[in-house]
Amino acid sequence: MLEIQYLRDQKDRVLTGLRKRGFTPERLEILDQIVALDDQRKEIQTRLDAQLNERNTLSDEIGKLFKQGQTTEANALKTKVQTIKETVESEEQQLQQVKSDLENLLLTLPNIPHVSVPDGRTPDDNKIHQAWEAPLPVLPEGAQPHWELAEKYNIIDFKLGAFITGSGFPLFRGKGARLQRALINFFLDRAREAGYEEIQPPLLVNADTAYGTGQLPDKEAQMYYVERDDLYLIPTAEVPVTNMYRGQIIPEASLPVMLTGYTPCFRREAGSYGADVKGLNRVHQFDKVEIVRFEHPANSYAALETMVRHVAGLMESLELPYRILHLCGGDMGFTSALTYDFEVYAAAQQKWLEVSSVSNFETFQANRMKVRYRDSQGKTQLVHTLNGSALALARIVAALLENNQGEKGIRIPEVLVPYTGFEWIGGDS
């Protein structure tokens, strides 16, 4: 959620930012509505506070009068307060109304893109931030996409998953399951070595938490919801982990707070069909190691860069061809100010698959969650929040299977062997 003060002070920036996100001039009128509502809010509050002050003062006097036995005078004041009470009630209602209107409008505004964010509407307008310079792997004739390899080596059973649950819920078995576990441990170890504290958060969250990171209200249809208990299955560890600090004031000296967590992620992916959803390309449940940071605003972009380097390092050690995209205004998530997407090249499909998204949310999430720190003047300031996948498993597995297939089977990258305990899938080991 944007800060109203920012919106008032930096209107030009907000305007250009929203245009970058494809706001039409009509939709931009919302800014003036917000400011007008906020003015109204202030006005009502000033009035209301004055009335409340009078009520409190009079009530005080009534108490004193009663104590002195001056009941007649006290009762006279009582009727006076009674009339104040009525106007107070109506003004309180107005205030509440205006506040909720204001909040609802503010919730419709996405974050303001960073100045570097490219213009554009669709994924085609994303800029390549870091290209893959080496030649892309070319597989020999007869190379198979991962869903065929999965069946051939009996490591992922899509049909069985569909039988047990539904499509998009793959079942990993044998070396497939072990590869998953190896990747999770590898990613967690790397994150820990980089200074992130490991967290195992709850996988279901309440509505307040889902609002905090911005999943509600705008991504409600994307989450699985347990109606009976009013809980949501997490779409990413970002949600529970970032909310660890909801409503908190973090001592400035504790910044940055660096957290990592592995969780399964659940996404309904409503409305996705076709070739994109084949195999592991788009599934309802997948595993991911997430890194989350709460940063001093002055450091957040440097932090973003180190996160990007961290993820790039993972890709490199897995020997996977990857590229980094700088998302354009139209393709960026609602809450993000700047997002880099990592794509891995799946050589059999000859497709780039998104495997990580690293973002700086600046104060957008922090404002919603009221996560602050105290600056050297003793004032509370909103922190910047950042997060990134490091990494999302399903598509990494897809690329590993496809790119590393050969006559002997599927070769496991060297760094993973200590984790898997085997060097080949389908080979001798």
Interface positions with RNA (CB under 7 A):
42, 45-46, 48-50, 52-53, 55-60, 62-63, 66, 78, 81-82, 85, 249, 372, 374, 377, 380
Q: For residue 84, give the amino acid letter.
A: I
> Closest separation between CB of residue 253 and RNA, Å?
10
Min separation Cβ 41 and RNA, Å: 7
CA gap 175, 172 in Å, rounded: 8
- In the complex with RNA, the residue whose CB is nearer, 5 or 24, is 5
Question: Least distance from C-beta 75 to RNA, angstroms?
Answer: 9
Name the burial class of residue 53, with classes exposed (0-12), middle (13-18) and buried (19+) by CB atoms within 10 angstroms of its CB. exposed
CB of 62 to RNA, least distance (A): 4
* Whether 398 contacts 146, CB under 8 Å: yes
Give Cα 167 distance to the centre of its chain. 25
Q: Which is nearer to RNA, 193 or 379 (CB)?
A: 379
- Choose between 42 and 192: whose C-beta lies nearer to RNA: 42
Residue pair 144/405 in contact by the 8 Å Cβ criterion: yes
Distance from C-alpha of 34 to C-alpha of 211, rounded to nearest angstrom: 20
Least distance between RNA and beta carbon 360 (Å): 22
State which residue, 56 or 165, has the beta carbon closest to RNA. 56
Q: Least Å distance between CB 252 and RNA?
A: 12
Q: What does the DSSP assignment read for 244-310?
A: GGTT-EE-GGGPSEEEEEEEEEE---TT--GGGGSTTSS-SEEEEEEEEEEE-GGGHHHHHHHHHHH
Burial class (CB in 10 A: 0-12, 13-18, 19+), 70: middle
Q: How far is the CB of 93 from RNA (least distance, A)?
A: 10
Residues 103, 217: contact at Cβ < 8 Å?
Answer: no
391: preceding bond cis by omega (within 30 degrees): yes
Nearer to RNA, 202 or 421 (CB): 202
Please state, as a whole number, how many other Cβ atoms lie within 10 Å of the Cβ of residue 111.
26
Output 24 or 377, the one with its CB closest to RNA.
377
Minimum distance from residue 203 beta carbon to RNA (Å) = 14
> Please, which residue, 32 or 414, has the CB nearer to RNA?
32
Between 13 and 374, name the residue whose CB sits nearer to RNA: 374
The distance of closest approach from Cβ of residue 85 to RNA in the complex, given in angstroms and rounded to an integer, is 5
User: Identity (one letter) of the amino acid at 187?
Assistant: F
Q: Do residues 149 and 382 make contact, with C-beta atoms less than 8 angstroms apart?
A: no
% helix / strand / coil in the chain, to the nearest 5? Answer: 50, 20, 30
Nearer to RNA among residue 206 and residue 350 (C-beta): 206
For residues 283 and 147, is the Cβ–Cβ distance under 8 A? no
Residue 208 or 220: the one with the smaller Cβ distance to RNA is 208
7: how many CB neighbours lie within 10 A of its CB? 19
To the nearest whole angstrom, how small is the minimum distance from the Cβ of residue 240 to RNA? 15
Question: What residue type is 185 in one-letter code?
Answer: N
